[in-house]
Chain A
Amino acid sequence: MANTPETAATADDMVCVCFGVKRADIVAHLQNPQQSFDTLVDATGIGTKCTACMLDVDLIVNEVSGRHAMVRLQAGGLEQPLPGPVRGFVHPVDFANSAPFINRDGIRTVLRVLNSGMMFADSKEITGYDYRVHLIGDAGRRHAVLDGRLEARETLELDFSEVAGLPGDGWFILDLRPDKLAVVGTTRPQILLIGPDWAASFHPQLQAMACRGRAIPVGVEGGLLRTSVSVINGYRRPAQIEMSLYGVDKPYEKTATAELGGFCSTLLNLDQYFRDVPDGQMYTLVVRSDVPVRKHVVNIQANGAISIDHFPNFK
Chain B
Amino acid sequence: MARAFQYLSPFIYPLFPREAGRLMLSCSIKNALQFRSRPDFTGQISVCFRKYVNGGEAGEERVDVAVDRHVPEINEFSKTFSADGYGYVEVEMTADRPLFDKTVVVQGYGLFLRPGCGALTFGSDLKFARDPIIKEIAVFGGFSLLHQAVLVDAGKGIGNSFFLVNPYRQPVVCTLESDLGRRLRVKVKPHEACVQPLDSLVDDGKPASVMLTANNKVTVFDMRHVHGKPAALTNLDHLDFMNGWLTHRRDGLQKTARYYVRRALRNLGISFA
Is there an interface contact between B109 and A305, defined as CB atoms closer than 8 Å?
no
B6 part of interface (Cβ distance < 8 Å):
no
Complex CA distance for A184 and B141, rounded to whole angstroms: 19
Say if the beta carbon of B189 comes within 8 Å of chain A: yes
Chain A positions within 8 Å of B273 at CB level: 207, 210, 234-235, 292
Contacts known (A91-B260, A199-B158, A307-B236); A134 close to B177, Cβ less than 8 A? no
Interface residues of B in 1-36 (CB under 8 A from A): 24-26, 34
B235's partner among A71, A134, A200 (CB-CB below 8 A) is: A200
Residue in A94, A136, A157 whose CB lies within 8 Å of B272: A136
- For the residues of B in contact with A, the DSSP-based class is strand
| Number of chain B residues close to chain A: CB under 8 A | 94
Contact in complex: A303, B272 (CB < 8 Å): no
B190: shortest Cβ distance to chain A, in Å? 11
Could you tell me the distance between the alpha carbons of A198 and B225 in the complex, rounded to whole angstroms?
A: 7
**Is A142 part of the contact surface with B, judged by Cβ < 8 Å?**
yes
Least distance between B194 CB and chain A CB atoms (Å): 5
**B242 adjacent to chain A (CB < 8 Å):** yes
B232-257 residues at the A interface, CB under 8 angstroms? 234-237, 240-253, 256
B173 at the interface (CB under 8 A from A): yes
B242, A120: Cβ atoms closer than 8 Å: yes
Does A198 contact B158, Cβ atoms closer than 8 Å?
yes
* A3 lies within 8 A of B248 (CB): no
CB neighbours (8 Å) of B26 from chain A are: 217, 248, 282, 284
Q: Does B122 contact A (CB under 8 A)?
A: yes
Contact of B246 with A224 in the complex, beta carbons under 8 Å: no
Taking a contact as CB atoms closer than 8 A, the residue among A71, A142, A281, A301 that contacts B114 in the complex is A301
A47 in contact (CB, < 8 A): yes
Q: B106 at the A/B interface (Cβ < 8 Å)?
A: yes
Q: Give the B-binding residues of A (Cβ under 8 A).
A: 1-7, 47, 51-52, 54-55, 57-59, 70-71, 73-75, 77-78, 80, 82-86, 88-96, 98, 110, 112-114, 117-120, 127, 132, 134, 136, 142, 145, 155, 157, 173, 175, 178, 180-186, 188-192, 194, 196-203, 207-208, 210, 216-219, 221-222, 224, 226-227, 234-236, 248-249, 263, 281-282, 284, 292, 297, 299-303, 305-309, 312, 314-315
| A184 and B252 contact, Cβ closer than 8 Å, known pairs A194-B151, A299-B118 | no
A98 to B273 alpha-carbon distance, docked (Å): 10
Cβ of A181 and Cβ of B244 under 8 Å apart? no
Contact A55 B148 (CB under 8 A): no
A181 CA to B249 CA, complexed, in Å: 9
